[in-house]
Structure 1
Amino acid sequence: MEPTKFESAIFLIDQKNAEDPNAFNVQGIDFSKELLYSQRMTQKLLQFDPQASEALQIAARAQHICRWKIARNEYPMDRTGYLKWRETLKKMHADITSEILEKLGYTTEFIEKVSFLINKKLIKKNEESQTIEDVVCLVFLEYYFEDFAEKHSDDKIIDILQKTWKKMSAKGHAAALKLNFSKKSLALVKQAIS
Structure 2
Amino acid sequence: MAPNLSQAIERIDAAHSEDPTKVDIDGEPTPYELIYAKKMSKFLELHTPNPDPLLATAARAQHFRRWEVPRDSYPRTKPGYFAWRTFLKKRQADQVRQLCLDCNYSEAEADKVAALVAKEDLKKGEGKGDADAQIIEDVACLVFLDDQFDEFEKGHDEEKIIGILQKTWVKMGKRGQDLALQMDLSDRAKELVGKALAG
1:145 corresponding residue in structure 2: 149
| TM-superposition CA deviations, 1:9-56 (whole Å, max 9, x none) | 000000011001111234543210111111110011011100321101
| 2: CA distance, partners of 1:76 / 1:50 | 40
Amino acid corresponding to residue 44 of structure 1 in structure 2: F
Paired residue secondary structure (1:25): strand
1:59 corresponding residue in structure 2: 58
2:94 corresponding residue in structure 1: 95
Say which structure, 1 or 2, has more relative contact order (CA 8 Å, 6+ apart): 2
2:185 aligned with 1:181, yes or no?
Answer: yes
How many residues matched? 191
Task: Map 1:118-129; keep pairs closer than 5 Å.
Answer: 118-124=117-123, 125-129=129-133
| 1: CA distance, partners of 2:118 / 2:62 | 9
1:133 corresponding residue in structure 2: 137
Amino acid corresponding to residue 21 of structure 2 in structure 1: N
Task: Map 1:1-194; keep pairs closer than 5 Å.
Answer: 5-124=4-123, 125-194=129-198
Q: Provide the alpha-carbon RMSD of the alignment.
A: 1.3
| 1: CA distance, partners of 2:167 / 2:62 | 19
| 1: CA distance, partners of 2:25 / 2:170 | 30
Amino acid corresponding to residue 182 of structure 1 in structure 2: S
Q: Which runs of 5+ in 1 are unaligned?
A: none
Larger CA deviation: 99-108 vs 167-176: 99-108
Question: How much does 1:173 deviate?
Answer: 0.8
TM-score (norm 1): 0.94
Q: Which runs of 5+ in 2 are unaligned?
A: 124-128
Paired residue secondary structure (1:30): strand
Amino acid corresponding to residue 144 of structure 1 in structure 2: Q
Paired residue secondary structure (2:108): helix
Paired residue secondary structure (2:39): helix
Question: How much does 1:105 deviate?
Answer: 2.5
| 1: CA distance, partners of 2:92 / 2:101 | 14
Amino acid corresponding to residue 61 of structure 2 in structure 1: A
In structure 2, relative to structure 1, the CA distance for the partners of 1:79 and 1:126 (3 Å cut) is same
Paired residue secondary structure (1:24): strand
Question: How much does 1:119 deviate?
Answer: 1.1
